Amino acid sequence: MPMPEPISPAVPKGVFIMKGMRIRIPAGGFRIEIHPNGSQSTSLTIELAVDFTPHWLSCALEHLGAAQAARAAAEDSAVRGDEQAMGEALEREVRASMQAIVGAATAFDAFYALLLEYVSIPSDLVRRWKKNRTARHRQVAEVMRRAIRFSGETLVGVQRVLSEVYRIRDMAVHPSAAFGSVVRHPGLPINSDWRLAAFRVENARAAVHSAVSIIAQCHELVRDSHPALRKHFSEVKSDIETVVQEFERQTGLQAWDARPAPA
């Protein structure tokens, strides 16, 4: 029996644009040509950009939900004395927690990348960062400071939170396989490897809470000197609000608990 011919996808026409995308016509992107025979032709080149911040926040939330469900299953198994089921649930919690933490840190990275499109960083500062191997969280905090109306006290708090989120993210993406001391798991009645305690739902929840809270509040505190950034934030406001609502639904926490004070 002959195999059916594969169906070739139709050649798309136009450009597919999703909510939150930015569009622009680069210099020289629109041209009108008059040919020797008197006919005319036009050409248009456009460029697109996507703010991945809401997507990474949503990814972090999805994995946080999985981590919370796994912890509940591990606790139930512990009560029943089913160590095998508890171990399987604990493995799921660790994997989901790592991914939630990485998602939270990457949301900060995506937010940082977006801000760089609107905020000018002096070239000498960039050179110093490279020369001194300035920590990622300090670079992110500095770019935030230039775009967002933080008070001095709030900026110190944001730096502290970023430092912690990136620290535990690095532990996940640059894992150590070295031997270490046995530690007590803070949420389960077991003594085991420290990594099981580090990549647990409480730490994942804290990282995601920090990312959702800080990024959402930054959308409301843009400096007056960055009207284009404020306009972009207004266009993605519903996406950020959806993330905030989902975080609060999942965790029962208020995303705006530690509201940054404007300068």
pLDDT of residue 59 exceeding 70, the answer is: yes
Kindly indicate the confidence band of residue 30, based on its pLDDT and cuts at 50, 70 and 90: confident
CA angle (169 as vertex; 167, 175 as ends), nearest 5: 100
pLDDT in tens, 161-192: 999 999 999 999 999 999 999 999 999 999 99
Query: SS3 string of 139-207?
Result: HHHHHHHHHECECHHHHHHHHHHHHHHHHHHHHHHCCCCCCCCCEECCCCCCEECHHHHHCCHHHHHHH
Residue 257 has pLDDT above 70, yes or no: no
Calculate the alpha carbon distances from 20 to 4, 26, 111, 163, 195 in Å.
Answer: 40, 19, 13, 28, 37
Numbers of helices and strands, H then E, in the chain: 9, 6
Q: Domain ranges in the chain?
A: 52-251
Angle value at C-alpha 162, between 209 and 220, nearest 5 degrees? 60
Between vectors from CA 88 to CA 85 and to CA 94, what angle results, nearest 5°? 140
Q: CA 70 to CA 66: how far, in whole Å?
A: 6
Cα–Cα distance for residue pair 110/261, rounded to 1 Å: 23
pTM over 0.85: yes
The pLDDT score that the predictor gives to residue 2 is: 65
Q: Residue range 60-67: average pLDDT?
A: 98
Give 213-252 pLDDT, tens digit per residue.
Answer: 999 999 999 999 999 999 999 988 899 999 999 999 999 9
